[in-house]
Amino acid sequence: MRKRPRTGVGSPHLCTPEELLSLVRQVAPIRLDPCSNRWSRVKATVELAGDPRKPHDDGLEESWRSLSRGGQAYVNPPYGPAGTLDRWARKAVLEGEAGTTLELLTPDDATTVWYRQLWRACDRVVRLTQRIRFTDGGRVRDSAMFGSALWLFTPSLELCARFESVYEERGIVIDPARASRRRVSRARIEEACT
């Protein structure tokens, strides 16, 4: 029996497995899934699937803040074609700046511009230490060929602490602002010593 190919970046319907969704729900209830599809297990109060026949169904166009009140938006964007993650990362940054609470799942790829934009803007990020076994069209796939990062945007320090607590056993949780201050402080100390 031939083994199915490992999950790459090409499928637009890679769905988050229930094990990860249960962790996301521990941080805050999921009110909005702005990039849903018919196989999604997110079960958000509002699901946008980008159906051109439905008005107000495009997650890149709608306001996440108004649609996720009382909880959070959970975003597992399509990973291809080229430029797709750029658009979703920009949208997440804008929504985060507007005060939307959201968790965004992406490949863990610091070589990209969108990754660095998320890094500068998010409140917390966890670099997951195990590769995700996405589902595709309802079928569980082999582990992804890439690591994943989950980004938190929130104005709530309580949710930042909860995020850290929920994910501390699942990956490396980082406060990018704190990490950046540490780098600046080290640079100042080195500068003062020379």
Distance CA 117, CA 92 (A): 10
Distance CA 114, CA 94 (A): 13
Q: Please report whether residue 141 resides in a domain.
A: yes
Is 139 in a helix, a strand, or coil?
strand
Q: Per residue in 10-55, pLDDT tens?
A: 555 678 999 999 999 999 999 999 999 888 899 999 999 877 777 7
| CATH value at residue 58 | 3.40.50
Pairing of strands 148-153, 102-107: antiparallel
Q: What is residue 5's predicted lDDT score, i.e. its pLDDT? A: 38
Q: What is residue 61's predicted lDDT score, i.e. its pLDDT? A: 92
Domains in the chain, number: 1
Looking at 138-184, which runs of residues are DSSP E strands? Answer: 139-140, 148-153, 171-174
Q: What is residue 125's predicted lDDT score, i.e. its pLDDT? A: 98
Show the domain range for 161.
14-193
Average pLDDT of span 146-154: 95
